[in-house]
Chains A and B, each alone.
Chain A
Amino acid sequence: MLSLQNVNAGYKGIDVIYNISFSLKEGENLCILGPNGCGKTTLIRAISGLIPHEGSIKIDGIDINKMKRADVAAKIAVLSQISTIYFSYSIYETVLLGRYLHMKGRTFKEPSSKDKEYTDKCLKAVGLYSIRNKQINELSGGQLQRVYLARTLAQEPDIILLDEPTNHLDLKHQAELIDFLRDWSKYEGHSVIGVMHDLNLAIKLSDKVLVLDKGRMATYGKATDVFSSNLLNQVYDMNITEYMVDSLRIWENFDHHLKMGKLRKVN
């Protein structure tokens, strides 16, 4: 469905990522990992067409440079991070905007009844249908991220790109978002490509993992293989395994104290 061959991209003529090659089949999810500044966001921006690239990025065998902007947007959608809201819209209006590409009319675009039905479907999928007339500037971060998710789904893309989508979200909402996206890709046969810092979330979402180190591919493979290697320790320049095991130990300790009655559970 998506394949990259020797892709270089960057800003103002200076490449930030070099020789990136990988391919994704329908229904496969990919997580891009790596330390700050390794080029994760640049890679996502290149795939979405926001910055120019060298090499080839193909969707269903067609180079995105040879596709019209609207055709690329019909295939690839980007779930944005939560940012400042300058002008408020209702939840429904916001999600309906995701249908922009599908709306009829060359000059005056108007949503059809199909667009409205699809918007309702997306709102129901993320559980916001009952509050669809609420203004988005009255929502919590978690709710707002779900609005943007519904808008991204309304675009009917084959691939959703995520750039640190769980920023500003608490643990519960992070897990909910990742679960939702995993199910979406599994049942609809689509793909999710995400930049994430949280390794736990990454492993929950992805079938494949691409690790970047200073703009180059350090490894690419099945999530289970990559997470068992020592490569992560090397790329992040810390002992990741020990860090994870330490965390587990804290949790075990916590459970132990709870059982011994040293900690009081607050309901």
Chain B
Amino acid sequence: MKVKYKIILSVIFSFLAIMAGVGLGSIKVPPSHIINIIANKIFSLPLHPDLQSSTALAIIWKLRLPRTLLAFLVGGAVAVSGSVMQSVLKNPLASSYTLGVSSGASLGAALVIVTGFNIPFLGVFTLPVTGLVFGMATVFSAVKFAAMMDKSLETNTIILVGMVFSLFVNAILTLVTAMARDHLAQLTFWQMGSFSLKDWSNVIILFPIVLIGVILIQSFSKEMDIMTFGEDQAFTMGVDVHKVKWSLLSLSAGLTGSAISFVGVIGFIDLIAPHVVRKIFGSSHKIVIPMSMFFGGSFMVICDLIARTIVSPSELPVGAITALIGAPFFAYVYFSRRRWL
């Protein structure tokens, strides 16, 4: 099948996933009504009579739409970040998690939850910002430490150091958790991620971050293609390997860090989405990066939909769903050698 058609189908798939995410639940709303509500809010077009005095309007606009869009943004961001890490570190199992972003962010968030620490002008955003700062700090210390050990920043050194840092930070997190039993439920929930009670403010902040991050990453797509053949090779082909590698590691850690700092740690999407995309579209990053955004976003929306509807009215942590579906699915994707479509 031609790449153009595959891209069109993927965009349609993402649109359907978002419509399902917004429309399904305790109250079911058809896509035509959803589009009507959006058009009414943005372009002040008249509302359908059925919607005028219904609770559906509030549920869609105030709860489900921001929640679904946030899920899409977070899923897309971690998936793009995952595909970058895999290429730069030339390891199909690499992700921001391997480098300790999530452990760092979890520790930062845990400290905020346990101490009740609050930065005045940040208000409710103290938690995500601290998560981001801790996540990024862990990655940078890991990469700096790796550079001290091995100036050429060999891929294996980075991955090993990242894992060591991750384990170390996780151990501190376990200690904090053990000492603060009162907050155990809140901590556990954050570590498994959730999109509940997220409103437009989250979407409005995350959207530009993800957009700029993904565009910047996209500008390195040729360099990433070349670097998958090895750094020495890339260097002799004229790529400024050191600069490109640092830029990509920072962008990708920043993207994951910002995304998970809003919603907690959600694993597996960053591993699965890039692999599925490569199976369908091949390895060219010019397509892998934007399609990872679409597929990662859609997967996350679907997982969130399952998380909030399967045991309704209560809700499961979305991280548990992504892992539950993700682990076996990843094994299948990874070990099936053939390309799809």
Contacts and interface: CB of A to CB of B under 8 A. Distances in A.
Contact of A87 (B222, B239, B283): B283
B233 A107 contact: no
A164 interface: no
B237 A103 contact: no
Interface in A29-78: 48-50, 69-70, 72-74, 76-78
Given A86-B91, A109-B222, A100 B283 contact: no
Interface string A166-196: 0000000000000000000000000000000
B222 A93 contact: no
- Secondary structure at chain A's binding surface: helix, strand, loop or mixed? mixed
Nearest to A72: B238
B229 interface: yes
B226 A88 contact: no
Contact of B284 (A70, A77, A89, A103): A89
Given A70-B238, A77-B236, A90-B282, A100 B92 contact: no
Contacts of B221: 108
Interface of B: 86-87, 90-92, 218-219, 221-222, 225-226, 228-230, 232-233, 235-240, 278, 282-284, 339
B232 A50 contact: yes
B219 A89 contact: no
Interface in A85-127: 86-90, 93-94, 97-98, 100-101, 103, 107-109
A245 to B, nearest CB: 39
Contacts of B282: 88-90, 93, 135
A103 B236 contact: no
B228 A86 contact: yes
A155 B236 CA distance: 10
Contact of B236 (A48, A90, A93, A97): A48
Given A48-B236, A89-B283, A103 B222 contact: yes
Contacts of B236: 48-50, 73, 76-78, 161
A159 to B, nearest CB: 11
Nearest to B241: A69
A73 B237 contact: yes
17 contacts: A72-B238, A73-B237, A76-B236, A77-B237, A78-B236, A89-B225, A93-B282, A93-B284, A97-B229, A100-B238, A107-B219, A108-B219, A108-B221, A135-B282, A155-B237, A155-B238, A161-B236
Contacts, number: 73
Contacts of B225: 89, 93, 97
A23 to B, nearest CB: 21
Give the 6 A-B residue pairs with the shortest CB-CB distance, closest first: A73-B238, A87-B283, A78-B236, A101-B238, A70-B238, A109-B222
Contacts of B230: 80, 83
A80 B229 contact: yes
A82 to B, nearest CB: 11
A88 B279 CA distance: 10
Contacts of B92: 86-87
Contacts of B278: 87
Nearest to B285: A87
- Among B225, B229, B237, residue most surrounded by chain A Cβ atoms (within 10 Å): B237
A100 B222 contact: yes
A108 to B, nearest CB: 6
A207 B218 CA distance: 46
A103 B225 CA distance: 14
B2 to A, nearest CB: 12
Nearest to B225: A97
B228 A74 contact: no
Contacts of B339: 135
Interface string A119-151: 000000000000000010000000000000000
Contacts of A155: 237-238
A142 B230 CA distance: 19
A134 to B, nearest CB: 11
Contact of A86 (B90, B218, B219, B222): B90
Contacts of B232: 50, 78, 80
Contacts of A101: 237-238
Contacts of A70: 238
Nearest to B231: A50
Contacts of B283: 87-89, 93
A242 B144 CA distance: 54
Contacts of A161: 236
Given A80-B229, A93-B282, A109-B222, A98 B235 contact: no
A83 B225 CA distance: 15
